[in-house]
Amino acid sequence: MGNPEPISRASLYEARKGVYPKKVDGFFRRFKWAIMGITLAIYYGTPWIRWDRGPYAPDQAVLIDLANRRFYMFQIEIWPHEFYYVAGLLIMAGIGLFLVTSAVGRAWCGYACPQTVWTDLFQHVDRLVDGDRNAQIRLAQGRWTLEKVAKRTAKYLIYLVIAFWTGGAWIMYFADAPTLTHDFWTGQAALVAYGTVAVLTATTFILGGFMREQVCVYMCPWPRIQTAMMDEKSLLVTYKDWRGEPRGSVKRAMAHPGAFGDCIDCNQCVAVCPTGIDIRQGPQIGCITCALCIDACDNVMEQIGRPRGLIDYCTLEDVAAEKAGGTAKPIRKTLMHPRTVIYFSIWSAIGLAMLFSLGQRTRLDLAVQHERSPLYVQLSDGHIRNNYTLKLRNMEARPRRVSVAVSGLKGAELWTEAGTREGAGQRLEMTLPADSVTRVKLFIAAPGAGESESGARQDFTITTRGLDGDPRGDSETIQFDRPET
Amino acid sequence: MADTKDFPASAGGKRIDDATGTSTVGHEWDGIEELDTPMPRWWLWTFYATIVWALGYVILYPAWPMVDRATEGVLGWSSRGELQKELAADARRRAPTLDAIAAADIAELPARPELMQAAVQGGAAAFRVHCVQCHGAGGAGVKKLYPSLTDDDWLWGGDLATIQYTITHGIRNPDHKETRTSQMPAFGRDGILEPAQISDVVSFVRTISGQERPGASSARGAALFAANCAVCHGPAGQGGRAVGAPKLTDAIWLYGGDRDSLTATITQPRNGVMPRWNSRLDPVTIKMLAAYVYSLGGGEKLAPADGKKVDGQP
């Protein structure tokens, strides 16, 4: 065995290359500003919207009341057994993402994803404290002077404030926001509130302040899934290499007319990219299609008097067409291809079905349990009594007067544990407290001889109805048992 | 073989792998060697930390199994002690409710729904421990042995105070003065009535309970009933709760209402026994049991305030 050259040990990990996106202005930048404003306003502001529901329910418009197992969203109140509405919303969100991806590619990644929005916000903080791209690079590479320490401290403090505010806003969705805010600052809030704020502050600080595009490239599964959802009709941010190549400066192009393409290799598209990629290398996982490179390139093209759109939203079909000398399809046709139409139909069908069932649902619900021990009781006058446990759900934020009646059981007498058989009748009335489940032990006596000779077991129906306003209710069919003869 | 600088003394004479710089374990199998890769330092420190932790644990908590118990540990902790603490905490939690039930007159309970509900639930728990063996899980009783507590027919009375008395003092306890007691004579076994006479009484009883049409036999039985049975069961067979004599005119038969069962009962009565519970249960538990039995569906309103038991149905 010889003495081989020592093998240099390659690291298995790649160190992050710093990304210092340059400030840019243009249509897409302004669009991003607008979306950032809207989404952050929704996130921070929603818990503070008030919504009057009367004295028996909270007045917060959007509230996930975990302790009492209620979910309030404006005029809609969801009980735990109606959780399928939340499942429906999640399915709609999923199909909505398919729809958006199939039509406009990774628009979610580029504009609306929280990781993108908060990264964008933190990058503005970088610019505010450190200055634009070049100043940031200088500072990052420079020595630890007093100025650098001061700037870094200021920047991280601002990060921390934003992160804390983000974590703090989250818990407001789970309790009355003004009360919780007061409790939070006076140290009276639940431990889980402080814990949640701490965790979310930490994740926002780390994910938005430091990890940024690495979350999209290494951690997030969604970009990988999206590649399966896109096809040749989906819009992508595309560098039109057939128009741009070979690259050459304006001077060289003037010296050799016709030898160079439109790309002057000014590197602006790379400088503004928030994930630090070069779009001219073609579609890649790091591209979140935020379209800031389009803004940057368009600005340059305008300055040098060449047509805009060297980098542009394009489908793969458009690319092929333009390469062959044709023109791209109009945007309306691109968006309306069969896949998007199918996704949109499914998406809206689920939405309409949910709206319809929300409109139809009753807020008075009945569940009956037949007591099995004993199955029936022989009464002294020859009647048979069966015992039932009723669960009456009054899902409205007001006490309700309801009736409970039976049908399909001749000679039935109903009374509850609060009453006696002397006061029994075919029908009961009771008041249900607001927004609650009431358990009632119901006794039903009926003649010992059944209506049919067939057996000891007879089906009948218990019905509950509202007596105040909304007469809708609920019914359940259940057995009445008699001794075998 | 390689030369000696491949086997430096610092590696214990074992070969250093070139690619990784790690020594091998010194064995070789058909040219395959194993690297002696050191444990990661974090792993090692975690391992040492667990040893320190274990030492502390052994001192603080029960650890070494001895002959009949484990070493106790200086904290004195034990899982049984934890259970005792939790039970004590639960007892403290229930104490106010139990005190309120103890202080309340049993007749007031139905008018105080929260207290009644608590009593019914406490009674249900006690019932599952002490009563289900005879009366069944839902109080349905056992045919021909133990009465149902869910129906509207009571031997000794079905209001709260009466049920409480029955549970407290039991039925036919020979060692207890206040126990409910009565004895139906063994008309057949002791020869008080002839078998034919018993058959006539059975006919009469089945007539007044609507199971047979009147006839010659039942007419003869009517006279025998008036002479032998009416003193306890009442002239019309309506029963007598003072002596626990069941109503004979209704559809409920503890020991069966057919001819054979009735004949057997009159020939040799059962005179069922229930233990008294004041020797085993505290008064609050008995009160809660009474509330539970009352709530099973057959509970009756309290008798008038003069305290006399009302015979038969009100």
Task: Locate the chain A residue with the closest alpha carbon to B154.
Answer: A380
Which structure tokens are listed for A61? 């418009």
Q: Under a CB-based contact definition with an 8 Å cutoff, are residues A178 and A190 in contact?
A: no
CB atoms within 10 A of CB A256: 10
In this prediction, residue A361 carries a pLDDT of 87
**Does B140 sit within 8 Å of A374, measured CB to CB?**
yes
Task: Locate the chain B residue with the closest alpha carbon to A384.
Answer: B151
Give pLDDT tens digits for B213-250.
Answer: 999 999 999 999 999 999 999 999 999 999 999 999 99
Q: Taking CB atoms and an 8 Å cutoff, what residues of chain B touch A385?
A: 150-151, 297
In this prediction, residue A2 carries a pLDDT of 45
**Three-state DSSP state, A71:** strand
CA-CA distances (angstroms) from residue A206 to A192, A198, A210, A213, A285?
21, 12, 5, 12, 22
Who's near B172: CB < 8 A, 6+ residues apart?
Answer: B179, B180, B181, B182, B183, B271, B272, B273, B274
More confident residue, B40 or B169: B169
Which structure tokens are listed for A121? 């916000």
Distance from C-alpha of B115 to C-alpha of B94, rounded to nearest angstrom? 12
**Does A373 sit within 8 Å of B136, measured CB to CB?**
yes
Burial class of residue A469 in the structure, from the number of CB atoms within 10 Å of its CB (0-12 exposed, 13-18 middle, 19+ buried):
exposed
pTM, entire model: 0.72
- Residue A303 touches partner B, C-beta closer than 8 Å: no
Q: What is the rounded average pLDDT of the residues B37-65? A: 92
Asked which of A384-393, A417-426, B102-111, B116-125 is least confident by mean pLDDT, the reply is A417-426
Q: Taking CB atoms and an 8 Å cutoff, what residues of chain B touch A374?
A: 136, 138-140, 148, 150
Give pLDDT tens digits for A29-73.
Answer: 999 999 999 999 999 999 999 999 888 889 999 999 988 899 999
Please determine, for residue B127, whether its predicted confidence score (pLDDT) is greater than 90. yes
Q: Which of residues 39-98 of B touch A (CB under 8 A)?
A: none
More confident residue, B201 or A14: B201
Q: Taking CB atoms and an 8 Å cutoff, what residues of chain B touch A371?
A: 138
Task: Locate the chain A residue with the closest alpha carbon to B138.
Answer: A373
Give pLDDT tens digits for B249-264.
Answer: 998 999 999 999 999 9
Q: How far is B150 from chain A (nearest CA, A)?
A: 7
Read off the pLDDT band of B8 (50, 70, 90): low
Measure the CA angle with vertex B22, ends B21 and B28; round to 5°. 120
- Residue A4 touches partner B, C-beta closer than 8 Å: yes
Amino acid at A409: L
Task: Locate the chain A residue with the closest alpha carbon to B250.
Answer: A380
**Does B247 sit within 8 Å of A1, measured CB to CB?**
no
Please determine, for residue B313, whether its predicted confidence score (pLDDT) is greater than 50. no
Q: Under a CB-based contact definition with an 8 Å cutoff, are residues B207 and B218 in contact?
A: yes
Task: Locate the chain B residue with the closest alpha carbon to A448.
Answer: B251
Q: Taking CB atoms and an 8 Å cutoff, what residues of chain B touch A4?
A: 18
Give pLDDT tens digits for B156-188.
Answer: 999 999 999 999 999 999 998 999 999 999 999
Q: Taking CB atoms and an 8 Å cutoff, what residues of chain B touch A387?
A: 150, 297
Task: Locate the chain B residue with the closest alpha carbon to A383.
Answer: B251
Q: If residue A238 lies in a helix (H) or strand (E), which one and from where to where?
A: strand A236-239
Q: Please give the CATH number for the structural domain made up of B195-267.
A: 1.10.760.10
Per-residue DSSP letter, A209: I
Q: How far is B66 from chain A (nearest CA, A)?
A: 42
Interface mutation vs chain A, best among B135, B143, B208, B252, most A CBs within 10 Å = B252
- Residue A379 touches partner B, C-beta closer than 8 Å: yes
In this prediction, residue A11 carries a pLDDT of 58
Superfamily of domain A364-481: Immunoglobulins (2.60.40.10)
- Residue B144 touches partner A, C-beta closer than 8 Å: no
Strand partners, A442: A388, A416
Q: How far is B256 from chain A (nearest CA, A)?
A: 13
The CATH label, of 1.20.810.10, 3.40.50.300, 1.20.1440.230, 1.10.760.10, for the domain at B90-180+273-311 is: 1.10.760.10
- Residue B13 touches partner A, C-beta closer than 8 Å: no
Q: Taking CB atoms and an 8 Å cutoff, what residues of chain A touch B148?
A: 374, 377-378
Average pLDDT, chain B: 88
More confident residue, A426 or B279: B279
Domain boundaries, chain B: 5-35, 90-180+273-311, 195-267
**Does B251 sit within 8 Å of A382, measured CB to CB?**
yes
Q: Taking CB atoms and an 8 Å cutoff, what residues of chain B touch A418?
A: 113
Kindly list the strands in the beta sheet with A70-73, ordered across the sheet, starting from the edge strand earlier in the chain: A62-65, A70-73, A76-78
Estimate to the nearest angstrom the gap between the alpha carbon of A437 and the chain centroid.
30
- Residue A12 touches partner B, C-beta closer than 8 Å: no
Q: Taking CB atoms and an 8 Å cutoff, what residues of chain A touch B313?
A: 380
CB atoms within 10 A of CB A394: 23
Which structure tokens are listed for A260? 């160079």
Distance from C-alpha of A253 to C-alpha of B140, rounded to nearest angstrom? 103
Ranges of residues in chain A whose predicted pLDDT is under 50 = 1-2, 4, 6
Residue ranges, comma separated, of all CATH 2.60.40.10 domains in chain A are 364-481
Please determine, for residue B22, whether its predicted confidence score (pLDDT) is greater than 60. yes
Distance from C-alpha of A106 to C-alpha of A237, rounded to nearest angstrom? 9
